[in-house]
Amino acid sequence: MRGPHNIWRLIRTGATLERTGAMNVVLDAFDAPPALRFVAKALGKPFMWLGYKGDPTMPPATRALTALGPAYIKFGQVLSTRPDVVGDELAVQLRVLQDKLPPFSIERAKQEVESELGLPVDQIFSEFSEPVAAASIAQVHKARLQSTGEEVAVKVLRPGIERAFTKDVDAFYLAARIIEICAPGARRLRPIEVIEHFDGVVQGELDLRLESSAASEFSANTAKDEGFQLPEMKWEYSAQRVMTLGWADGVPMGDNAAIDAIGVDRTKLAERVLQLFLNHALRDGYFHADMHQGNLKVATNGDIIAYDFGIMGHIDEYTRRVYAEILYGFIRKDYKRVAEVHFEAGYVPADKDVDEFARALRAVGEPIFGMDATKISMGRLLNYLFQVTERFGMETRTELILLQRTMVVVEGVARSLDPQMNIWQVASPVVTSYISKSIGPRAALTDLMQTARVLGRFGPRLPALVEAALIKQGNPETPKRPTFWRWIILTALGSAITGAGAIKLAEKLL
């Protein structure tokens, strides 16, 4: 139900930011213009008494987002990885949101485990600790299996979290509708579809059976990745609201002092974080889409350990090729090709000028290559990029939202380890390798073979399908059976269509 209670929810959001003292902190962090400051103050200050008080011991921004609920906390988690956007001070404050939120009681956690697994906790675990980490959706307990003595991590959803998230997301739908009505220019960003996408991601995160499946698939894909570890899934001790995995020993990714203490080179670690993400996204089309510091550890041997697989991203082969070509074009400073790829993929309307778009992209890319990493303002860069997309009528690609958001998060994690890191230089080997394998004569031959394999799988049905198509085009009263040679020609033409899009088309048609 998206009614008056959601208006109330949005009013309380502004009031809470004002009451907790977070309003000025947030506006200053984003360097908000005077007009926006005036509107925010006008909406928040008169209703300040309606805002949530929050925990006075927390910093203002953390206090406000924690009081507002899970969806706001998720937003804060993303911002915590971007000190270059929100500033070092606010980023440190928000990092608390990743895994240091107030936990619920161990007694309630044991009740959830017993209810889900159907056995008393003491029969499953010989040890079951107090919460070792508490995030917006779930908390984690360290335990020891009764049967094997192995140390494990037991993830338990927060009681009532499903209803709390529904309430927050419901208010976001209202905000999206208000944006569409009051700011027609923002409709190209598809705010409703963006919230629908976010809603779907959240619903998947609230079912730990899906997360268990994601962990298993991700583990199979990355088994041979050097310097990367995943905890082992324990299927027999997992259910909808409880998930059990092997225990991951390591220091937090966000603790640079601890990483230095175990002798790990942070420069190489930063490079590996970014390259692993790109490999997973381009090579596999399946990637960890919540790779903030709270979900990463560093083993004593320097390996990266990832966990919390509630949000995973998937992109098809065609989209991967488009994304790789765009990155490759930026790496080579071939802005004309980057522009052409946008047009070929339909990301920019065909009536726009490709040369003008290339020049606009050059204005985005050149400052990145010509300036020291520590002096690049990601906030200003993103603001200009938004202006470019608005000018050329680019619509939000909902299928790429998770990929783009994760790229921002991963880059933030890498830069927190090495502020001097050149992301394009680090990305180049991975993107170049993917391009060489996926675009060109060898890739075309692979596509042709895959298309032929799809057609071959449905070979026995092809004559009937072709006949039905020809009958439909001709006079149904005097159907003409296709000759043998006509069938051969049609089949050959179908096989000659190459590319990931053709393979998908063949599967749909057949």
Domain count, the chain: 4
Q: In whole angstroms, give the CA distance from residue 510 to residue 498.
A: 16
Same domain, 404 and 431: yes
Same domain, 354 and 423: yes
- What amino acid is encoded at 307 in this protein? Y
Structure confidence at residue 203 (pLDDT): 78
Structure confidence at residue 503 (pLDDT): 45
How far is the CA of 505 from the CAs of 438, 459, 495, 502, in angstroms?
19, 16, 12, 5
Q: In whole angstroms, give the CA distance from residue 242 to residue 258.
A: 30
Instruction: Provide the residue-wise pLDDT of the chain in tens; the chain has 510 residues.
Output: 456 677 778 788 888 988 998 888 877 776 656 765 776 777 678 888 888 888 888 888 888 888 888 778 877 776 665 565 566 677 777 777 766 678 899 999 999 999 999 999 999 999 999 999 888 888 999 999 999 999 999 999 998 888 888 888 888 787 777 767 765 655 655 677 767 777 777 777 889 999 999 999 999 999 999 999 999 999 999 999 999 999 989 999 989 999 999 999 999 999 999 999 999 998 999 999 888 888 899 999 999 999 889 888 888 888 888 888 887 887 788 889 888 988 888 888 888 999 998 998 888 777 766 555 555 555 455 555 656 766 787 765 655 666 766 777 788 888 889 988 887 788 888 888 888 777 666 666 766 776 676 666 666 776 777 777 777 666 555 444 444 444 444 444 444 444 444 444 444 444
218 within some domain: no
Same domain, 284 and 355: yes
Residue 387's domain comprises: 250-439
The widest CA-to-CA distance across the chain, in whole angstroms, is 84
Same domain, 467 and 376: no
Same domain, 307 and 421: yes
Question: Could you give the angle at the alpha carbon of 19 between the alpha carbons of 13 and 23, nearest 5°?
Answer: 70
Structure confidence at residue 296 (pLDDT): 93
Comparing CA positions, the residue from 315, 267, 310, 264 lying closest to residue 291 is 310
119 within some domain: no
Q: Which two tokens stand for residue 274?
A: 């970014």
Q: How many of the other CB atoms lie within 10 Å of CB of 235?
A: 14
Same domain, 293 and 425: yes
Same domain, 89 and 199: no
Structure confidence at residue 262 (pLDDT): 95
Same domain, 362 and 378: yes
Same domain, 59 and 179: no
Structure confidence at residue 484 (pLDDT): 44
Q: How many of the other CB atoms lie within 10 Å of CB of 91?
A: 21
Q: Cα 106 to the chain's mean position, in Å?
A: 31
Same domain, 447 and 330: no
Structure confidence at residue 505 (pLDDT): 43
Q: Which of 416, 439, 462 is the last residue of a domain?
A: 439
236 within some domain: no
Q: Which of 424, 439, 454 is the last residue of a domain?
A: 439
117 within some domain: no
Given the residues 84, 170, 290, 308, select the one marked as catalytic: 290
Structure confidence at residue 346 (pLDDT): 83
Residue 260 is a catalytic residue: no
Q: Which of 82, 99, 116 is the last residue of a domain?
A: 99
Structure confidence at residue 370 (pLDDT): 56
